[in-house]
């Protein structure tokens, strides 16, 4: 008796600041997130991708490379952040405090 392989439809997504790629794939059921990234061809097209250093996930939620995919999943390869979001918020808050204190260089008695 021959067993038939089942397939699922998924996508693999990668984005740069000005460009994005979404690769639809039909893969064997039981494929892992990392296997799907390799199957997408994105690693050959984008040698800057380093799976040992970059985070990956499914629909915006971090996942391990050995996560088994389900039909309809969108695998995402995340880039390193250009700026630390906490630091950016801190700088905005600091700038806001300065604005509330008068915001200019005019003397208080002017």
pTM: 0.69
- Per-residue pLDDT 10s for the chain (110 aa) are 556 789 999 999 999 888 999 999 999 999 999 999 999 999 999 998 988 888 999 999 999 999 999 999 999 999 876 666 677 677 778 777 666 655 555 555 55
Cβ neighbour number for residue 57 with a 10 Å cutoff: 17
- Are β-strands 7-15 and 20-28 bridged in parallel, bridged antiparallel, or unpaired? antiparallel
- Domain containing 26 equals 7-100
Report yes or no on 107 lying in a domain: no
**C-alpha gyration radius of the chain:** 22
Are the beta carbons of 15 and 79 closer than 8 angstroms? yes
CATH number of the domain encompassing residue 67: 3.10.20.30
């Amino acid at each position: 008796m021959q067993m038939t392989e089942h397939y699922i439809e998924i996508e693999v997504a990668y984005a740069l600041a000005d460009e994005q790629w979404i690769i639809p794939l039909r893969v064997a059921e039981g494929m892992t997130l990392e296997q799907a990234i390799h199957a997408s061809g994105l690693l050959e097209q984008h040698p800057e991708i380093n799976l040992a250093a970059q985070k990956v996930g499914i629909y915006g939620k971090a996942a391990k490379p050995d996560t088994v995919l389900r039909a309809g999943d969108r695998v995402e390869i995340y880039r390193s952040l250009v700026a630390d979001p906490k630091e950016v918020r801190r700088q905005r808050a600091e700038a806001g405090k300065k604005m509330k204190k008068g915001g200019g260089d005019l003397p208080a008695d002017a």
